[in-house]
Amino acid sequence: MSLHFTRSRLIFTAGLCILILLLATTCRRAGTWLVKEDTPVHADAMVILMGSIADRVLQASDLYHAGVAGKVIIVEESMGAYAALEARGAHIISNTIQARNAAIALGIPADSIVTIVGDARSTQQEATIVRNYLQDKPGIKTLLLVSSAEHTRRASLIFRTAFEKSGKSVTIFSSPSKYTGFRAKDWWIHKEEIQAVLGEYVKLLNFWLLDRQRL
């Protein structure tokens, strides 16, 4: 085991202990802080982050029809052994295609949706792929991230960091889906919300201490 790996694990463990202590003392606000909601009058494009499909596509559809953004960006999501499955003759619809099809079914024109090839496995990879895609598109100065409610704080932090490190000036907004059903104010009394909140804070901690440098 390398010294660097051991040190990283120690830092992460110490940070996790601090995180648990902070959650114990400020638990009532831990859920609501994760939900980052901005209300831009207009954005040049919105990004539907992959993961949960239904709630995010519904939110994106509402925003599109309200005139908030006329372009939708979706990054291709990794499906693990999807290629091997296809090679053996088992064909399934990928999550990315499902999201695109659902958006079209809800009235977003197909020519308003851009699907970026990327095989993304995380929000960080989505941020990097979108950043690279926009390098030669000076007309896009504002992005609206559409995601499940509890994911918006972390997603915003990741995308802002990615663009800051690239030197490209893009303003990042967030729109938490009202269809998520996330009970932010009393998260500690529901099993699903406990799992979601603790999971998000562990991922945030991992980003701050380890993954941020890789963007």
- Determine the pLDDT at residue 114: 97
Q: How many domains does the chain have?
A: 2
Instruction: Please report the pLDDT score of residue 20 as a whole number.
Output: 64
Indicate yes or no: pTM above 0.75: yes
3 and 44 in one domain? Answer: no
Residue 75 — φ and ψ, nearest 5°? -95, 135
pLDDT tens digits, 20-57: 666 555 677 889 999 999 988 899 999 999 999 999 99
Looking at the fold, whether 43 and 143 belong to one and the same domain comes out as yes
Q: What is the DSSP letter of 51?
A: S
What is the enclosing helix (H) or strand (E) of 168? none
Domain containing 215 equals 1-34+183-215
Are 120 and 153 contained in the same domain?
yes
N-terminal to C-terminal alpha carbon distance within the chain: 25
Q: What is the pLDDT of residue 168?
A: 82
Query: What integer is the mean pLDDT of 141-168?
Result: 95
Highest mean pLDDT among 5-9, 16-20, 47-51: 47-51
Distances (CA, A) of 35 to 16, 59, 68, 147: 21, 15, 19, 10
66 and 161 share one domain: yes
Please tell me what DSSP assigns to residue 197.
H
CATH of the domain at 93: 3.40.50.620
Tell me the C-alpha to C-alpha distance, in Å, between residue 74 and each of 34, 124, 151, 191, 193: 22, 14, 16, 30, 26
Does one domain contain both 24 and 50? no
Residue 139 in this model has a pLDDT that exceeds 60: yes
Predicted pLDDT of residue 170? 95
H or E element, residue 144: strand 142-147
Are residues 109 and 143 both part of a single domain?
Answer: yes
**Rounded Cα–Cα distance for residues 172 and 43 (Å):** 9
More confident residue, 165 or 42: 42
**pLDDT on residue 167:** 83
Reported as a pLDDT band with limits 50, 70 and 90, residue 62 is: very high
Residues 12, 69 share a domain: no
**Residue 23: predicted pLDDT:** 58
Q: Cα 74–164–61 angle (5° rounding)? A: 25
User: What span, in angstroms and rounded, lies between the C-alpha atoms of 72 and 85?
Assistant: 29
Strands 72-77 and 171-176 come out as unpaired
Same domain flag for 55 and 86: yes
**Alpha helix stretches (DSSP H) within 26-151:** 27-34, 54-65, 82-87, 95-105, 123-133
CA 2 from centroid of its chain's CA atoms: 32
* Secondary structure of residue 190 in the 3-state scheme: coil
Q: What percent of the chain has pLDDT over 70?
A: 93
Give the residue, 22 or 205, on which the prediction is more confident.
205
Q: Residue written as tokens 């099809």? A: 101
